[in-house]
Structure 1
């Protein structure tokens, strides 16, 4: 038998494939961008999917029509806090230079005759008198996040909590596809803002049923007296009622049963944004709102001949923070007033014991029982009062104690409420059952007497039997229990795939971290060639899981986002498992020649503690002051040797001074009033720093210096000019004289010219990096001056000084630790950690960026005064992002001074930031207080976007500093 030719010799360990190592940082940056765009919205799929489903059945209370009101009037005082309406004040509480418009008596605060204090006054004498005389029920309505006008009105009128992401659809002309009280009314007459009314008219099943009367958008001028918006609403109602005397069709519509009037009173929100809710202007506006309510009740009483068939509900869509903002879950934003009176509303009885007040309401001195509700309950209350069907997707429960109802009517109202909630839960169940491979019903609606659970039909039949037998108290109790179960079932089907999706998204984040770490190690260690089939098998696991989940989601007709989550996680893990060489080489090298295990553990513990401190800073920004102090003092003392500290005494002193100064800002209060002297000090600091830069850079011979010098001088001049315009505009606004047109044009011109200077300066080749960095730093000084309310400009100057000190110190240290091969080492983790710390200090230095309501609009009024949410938001965002232009440029220079490939710091920082993201991902919740829910959402979104933002930031820094030398 002929022997086979010998096989060619092959080197031991020769690879059979060439795995794709040495990925470019630009590729990782692009993948990071895509990963965060896919994974960040995942919490809305998991926790906050839209609750709107098609519900065929509508339920109303089965009773005699005479038991209900023929019409319901809803007043919404936009942005009204409960405490500001209900409490009393010393006389006189506020001195307002603005008299109340005629015909309102010029007494912004009327005497509260019911108060135990002789000189107590109230800004709402009519509403307070209704409560104190026993005609009205009252309480606090608790809103959900986001505390914005759109979701607030959706809850009040639709009875549902719109998914959190829906607020991004905007504020104006957005048809809302859901059922509402207005939709179920015979006719609805709505008056108020063009930002709110179109939602309900265009979103109605029959738009002709909803009449909308709104003023022009230009009327929402923050520098004008906003009470005219509320008086306009009253005038429009008066005109409609007057026209009915000559319009038979209109008169007929107004006199049908089931009519709903809706008055949206925007003045308080506008006034609160401009002057904050503690000032005389806000309380003066409450007096106007109270007058509008009183006159509305009188107009309708006269028109309907005082027939006693009108029910009134007064509330607010959200409250307002001390800064004059709203949006998050702070109690000042979520606690709104609720006052109900008229037909169908229970009067207070002398024998009623008032509920125990907490610290919040104990000093209000109100009679009766404080009956708190959830905001969605208001829609259910109005539906029952008007005798119309409850909205299809309502999540509210009828507050039965508000009703003037017999035990039978109470029981039937509770039963109708429960059946509507159950219909929605069953619609969600059917939708899931139609497509689920293995359907899991709601456990508490599975018929199992042994376990104490019964089918929904059993509950319904049981309650029907109790009603037939006249056992109304038990029927009411069982109906409330069924309502609770129905809401629980709706939540169950809302989060039906909760565990699976959380697992997939977590694997996605972990996979991206492993993928990034693999890329770092591939360029930092000597890689052996591996030849093992088990890694091929391991790489096949994510592929198999991907195909399996794709098949399941296809059958269940899952959203496209579910496929993206699976694909991202599988792709990352496939890339990691098919080439484990970088990880094995790293651990092998570490055992042979790396740092000691003790030092490695100590470094790892330091990184983890630093990240935990940053995470804690989202709840208490003072933590970032401790981080800054640690960077200033603890790091040099523990990580630098004695010789290194001695040689760099001056640099370390500058570093310590700048970081200690920076640490002061997270300790300052978020709530700050307009302080033009502090703004002027900030402008002087920035101009002074620019002048120092002119003197220092002049001594360095550079062919580009003459050009840079002209730009720096222009920036100093623009900063000074901006201060003059800012002070002039602010003083004019303080005097309530409006924004002078010349100041508005000058402010925009300075802002545009200053911001464009870095582009006009260009990127001259062979320019020393300090020159270009100086042009970048001071180009945005006017932005911080004109958009500063207090110490923000001082912060920007201090932040820039700290970045320059960091750059100089890292450059000096890099000279002692040459890195000729350009590999990322463990020591560079500390630099990336510093980058993350500066990133967070930039966000939290002048406010709590994790709280929407910590932003304030007053500085924006120096540029524009008519309400325009997107341009105003863009200006605030621009100001927020300015410090990071400096961070991007400084980080790019440090990256180069460390002799690392471009974007290397991003790669390490990305892994660290993902640890924070996963931490906040598991803390997201849809339960608990609105503050807890809102904070969990914003913390996760902000932290997740940090990875996206930092990648764009460092890429921008590479672009800005390209071609510089030094």
Structure 2
């Protein structure tokens, strides 16, 4: 694509961009701005334009800076690449500038020179400087480092022989990470965060005076903004106003003073920076230059917006040509709004208006063409949406049908299957018609894909549709099942199936409104009430159930939940002490009692250590080395202890639960301590109840075929899925990035270490799942259930949820809606695979005999020694 820029002299020779990472608008503006940021307050009142920059989701540092400097929001597929790099190559103002100097965090500044261009100069500190410990001034050091580096650089530039630094079209980019780090560790309303704002304000003032004194030409433009904001509880990634509304202050060359607040989309800033210094607009930019902010003549403004129009036209033309080349002529549908009056004709009209001096009309016409270009670009970006939706839906329906057949085949005895296939009259005509429809649709899919030059991923989706071949080969079993189904209590099983459908829909709705999961728990209580004779302490169990439902019904965002609660921790500790004495009394083996004493000792130590860590961080001492060592020892050693227990089912289940609670306690906040205590008791009683339930059998061979497809293993799988979702949403998590707090890892690391933090956060999220799976493993063992069939049933439930979420995925609207809809779809997709992996861990915690393992290791070592000798 051909880059474009204005042909008129630019209003500024250079631009200085300050990005205060994590600074939300509400923390800067308002009555406190004069106290927190006196210099920026003076700029707002007397020198420049100011207002709100509106960011898009995900409100993270990488996509925020790409929007600022490249002018586009990341594709949702970028979610799979974390925060390290953008999944596609992109152009930026940094690339297009004459020279660029960037200072700041290595994760950000390194994004903008992947090609090692000589005119881009990057300077970053070591990542270990990012300290989340809460030590005094630890976060402000990140910003003072940047300011000092800039001062040193400018002061070393020789005025008499100034070459690159004195060129027109330069950009100086200062990435200030201190506020983001302070927000995570201290929260945005803390004294430390406010002090960091003052540090940034002073630094900006010093840099402006330094630049003005050096050049002394009044040709420098200054822009102060942020990549994203932050919630009250110190996280970001979502779409709340605190996260998406950030300050925008611009002054210097090219700007006039404005008394009213402006609103600007973040992606428009890249195009604005390009226009200020007269460089090419980034070719990937979707931004629109805000002419109202630029202090220039109407002619210059018309020429600037004309360049913006041509740049977007290049993108539209590229998308149009690419789609047209890969699509059959008969099926190609061009963007309809350019059919009667072509885009080229619109551009010619725009150029004529500028030549005739009708600048205001030309500007209005340019904005009209830009809107059409952006609509056309979005049209071609989603051109194959319906085709892909058909492929995926068709494939998933085939896969679900095949899973259902596999469950039927597994549950039927071979003799019974043969007998049914032999003696039941199958409608052969219906069988042939169904086979013809299946193979006809597959042929249509093949023609639709292979007759066009589509990207490789479309052929992958096409292959997924071939799950219907497996369905076609097993149609006889499916027809036989429905033949028997129609003769034995069909209404009972139809009601049961409808109940599961409603249950799955409630699970899906839980991702939108958390309270729906409580309805499923209430239904579980109603079912258990009918079997209350199974429970030894039914009313104690009832209190546990009501308590966890009550805690889960609390609002997600509470001060109690987002910060460490000493009252919750102490109360939970007392409850665990009470549970300890009760559990040990039930143990028969002396060795098991000794192991339990050690395990509970580890749990008590985890509580005490977590309390100490939060006290030291609160009072500015940071994470002490002794607390950090204790945390890592507990995390590594505690999983080994269950292997030393006997393989008695209930003993191992409790041992596994206590082991998993040790690391969870070190990372818990708010009421999570209390919730998990009552939740693990609920899971333990669930496993006891299912083990005590009598298994009913049917004497009818045909009835076995139907009845076993809806036996208690199906019910157990569904309840397991309910408990899994409840364990996630019950502690306040939402289907969003901002519900995950980096300060969960405060007992282990405080210096920025993204992979370590991500692993620890993942461990915390997986622990409730492991507790549920340990209970499920106990049930499967006690009832002699079939694990293979259970996971087939679980996969069936999850795939029904996947199809529902597939139709919730959006590619229009805000990035909050797009990002969350996609993340939900992906999360449910990987659930089953993740559960299979976690089940193996749960299996090891509940069944592996440590003594036997120790003997095996000793034998292996002796064998190696013999071989070496």
> Is TM more than 0.5 here?
yes
Shift of 1:263: 0.4
Point out the structure with the larger helix share. Answer: 2
Which of 200, 220, 240 matches 2:130?
A: 220
Shift of 1:893: 2.7
Which residue is 1:716 aligned to? 600
Which residue is 1:317 aligned to? 227
Shift of 1:863: 1.0
How far apart are the structure 1 equivalents of 2:78 and 2:406?
37
- CA change 1:691–1:781 in 2 (3 A) is farther
- CA change 1:271–1:510 in 2 (3 A) is same
Which residue is 2:334 aligned to? 442
The reply on whether 1:773 has 2:653 as its aligned counterpart is yes
Which of 671, 674, 693 matches 1:813?
A: 693
Which of 461, 467, 475 matches 1:565?
A: 461
Which residue is 2:352 aligned to? 465
Which has the larger displacement, 136-145 or 268-277?
Answer: 136-145
Shift of 1:86: 1.1
Which has the larger displacement, 186-195 or 584-593?
Answer: 584-593
The reply on whether 1:243 has 2:153 as its aligned counterpart is no
How far apart are the structure 2 equivalents of 1:818 and 1:247?
99
- CA change 1:297–1:542 in 2 (3 A) is farther
The reply on whether 1:232 has 2:127 as its aligned counterpart is no
Length, aligned pairs only: 827
How far apart are the structure 2 equivalents of 1:678 and 1:437?
64
The reply on whether 1:70 has 2:8 as its aligned counterpart is no
The reply on whether 1:507 has 2:420 as its aligned counterpart is no
Which of 419, 422, 441 matches 2:310?
A: 419
Which of 468, 472, 480 matches 1:577?
A: 472
How far apart are the structure 2 equivalents of 1:903 and 1:824?
14
Equivalent residues in 2 for 1:534-549, closer than 5 Å: 535=431, 538-539=434-435, 546=442, 549=445
Equivalent residues in 2 for 1:893-932, closer than 5 Å: 893-932=778-817
How far apart are the structure 2 equivalents of 1:523 and 1:174?
46
Which has the larger displacement, 664-673 or 837-846?
Answer: 664-673
Which residue is 2:583 aligned to? 693
How far apart are the structure 2 equivalents of 1:580 and 1:289?
70
SS across alignment from 1:325: coil
How far apart are the structure 1 equivalents of 2:847 and 2:603?
27
Which of 734, 745, 756 matches 2:618?
A: 734
Which residue is 1:156 aligned to? 68
> Any gaps of 5 or more consecutive residues in structure 1?
1-54, 90-108, 113-121, 349-367, 449-453, 699-704
How far apart are the structure 2 equivalents of 1:686 and 1:508?
49
Q: TM-score, normalised by structure 1?
A: 0.81
SS across alignment from 1:195: helix
Which residue is 2:563 aligned to? 673
Shift of 1:774: 1.6
Shift of 1:618: 1.5
Q: CA RMSD in A?
A: 2.6
- CA change 1:880–1:691 in 2 (3 A) is farther
Which residue is 1:21 aligned to? none
SS across alignment from 1:340: strand
The reply on whether 1:794 has 2:674 as its aligned counterpart is yes
SS across alignment from 1:523: helix
How far apart are the structure 1 equivalents of 2:687 and 2:843?
15
How far apart are the structure 1 equivalents of 2:679 and 2:823?
24
Which has the larger displacement, 222-231 or 387-396?
Answer: 222-231
Which residue is 1:263 aligned to? 174
Which residue is 1:7 aligned to? none
Q: Deviations over 1:748-785 (max 9, x none)?
A: 11111012334x438x6xx3211211221111221122
Shift of 1:857: 2.2
Shift of 1:124: 1.9
Shift of 1:746: 1.7
Shift of 1:895: 2.9
Shift of 1:930: 3.2
Contact 1:329 1:935 in 2 (8 A): no
How far apart are the structure 1 equivalents of 2:696 and 2:427?
40
- CA change 1:710–1:421 in 2 (3 A) is same
Which of 40, 43, 56 matches 1:127?
A: 40
SS across alignment from 2:376: helix
Shift of 1:381: 0.7
Q: Deviations over 1:367-423 (max 9, x none)?
A: x33322221101011111111110000011111211112222222222211111110
Equivalent residues in 2 for 1:519-918, closer than 5 Å: 519-524=406-411, 526-527=416-417, 528-529=420-421, 532=428, 535=431, 538-539=434-435, 546=442, 549=445, 553=449, 556-570=452-466, 572-595=467-490, 597=491, 599-632=492-525, 634-636=526-528, 640=530, 644-645=531-532, 647-648=533-534, 650=536, 652-671=538-557, 672-698=562-588, 705-758=589-642, 760-761=643-644, 767-815=647-695, 824-828=708-712, 829-918=714-803
Contact 1:658 1:805 in 2 (8 A): no
Contact 2:410 2:789 in 1 (8 A): no
How far apart are the structure 2 equivalents of 1:168 and 1:513?
26
Contact 1:690 1:778 in 2 (8 A): no
How far apart are the structure 2 equivalents of 1:509 and 1:749?
45
> Any gaps of 5 or more consecutive residues in structure 2?
850-869
How far apart are the structure 1 equivalents of 2:579 and 2:244?
44
Which of 328, 332, 335 matches 2:245?
A: 335
SS across alignment from 2:103: strand
Q: Deviations over 1:63-91 (max 9, x none)?
A: 1x2x42000111111011111111224xx
How far apart are the structure 1 equivalents of 2:776 and 2:464?
29
